[in-house]
Amino acid sequence: AQSVAQPEDQVNVAEGNPLTVKCTYSVSGNPYLFWYVQYPNRGLQFLLKYITGDNLVKGSYGFEAEFNKSQTSFHLKKPSALVSDSALYFCAVRAPDTGRRALTFGSGTRLQVQP
């Protein structure tokens, strides 16, 4: 079975500081990894994905994530946080080798950026 863990319910960071939102995964075979963001009363917006290749992937709004196979992690990062980044962030995994197409999501991490 595939699973995703987001160990922090909430992350607080001051505007202008770097931010990290943590994600670890468990899956058979090679993972496809995704980050999504959700603003209040909205659907999920795609930020970035790792499929293969370079371990550092860049996405929308200045976000990036680093795939670490040995630590089974895919942490989301941004060098300088904005107040407008405050939202709910979800990490998700898919294991194409298993034939299971659905994404499995983590429980979400609320990012609060203080001005």
Partner 1 sequence: KAGVTQTPRYLIKTRGQQVTLSCSPISGHRSVSWYQQTPGQGLQFLFEYFSETQRNKGNFPGRFSGRQFSNSRSEMNVSTLELGDSALYLCASSLALSLAGPTNTGELFFGEGSRLTVL
Chain residues in the site for partner 1 (CB under 8 A): 32, 34, 36, 41-46, 49, 51, 90, 94, 96, 99-108
Distance CA 112, CA 115 (A): 10
Q: How far is CA 97 from CA 32, 47, 48, 70, 108, in A?
A: 10, 23, 21, 19, 25
| Minimum distance, C-beta of residue 85 to partner 1, in the bound complex (Å) | 19
Tell me whether residue 82 or residue 103 sits nearer to partner 1 (CB atom): 103
Token digits for 43? 């659907």
Tell me whether residue 15 or residue 88 sits nearer to partner 1 (CB atom): 88
Tell me whether residue 52 or residue 115 sits nearer to partner 1 (CB atom): 52
Tell me whether residue 34 or residue 67 sits nearer to partner 1 (CB atom): 34
SS3 state of residue 113: strand
Distance CA 11, CA 110 (A): 6
| Minimum distance, C-beta of residue 38 to partner 1, in the bound complex (Å) | 9
Token digits for 90? 């979800």
| Minimum distance, C-beta of residue 81 to partner 1, in the bound complex (Å) | 24
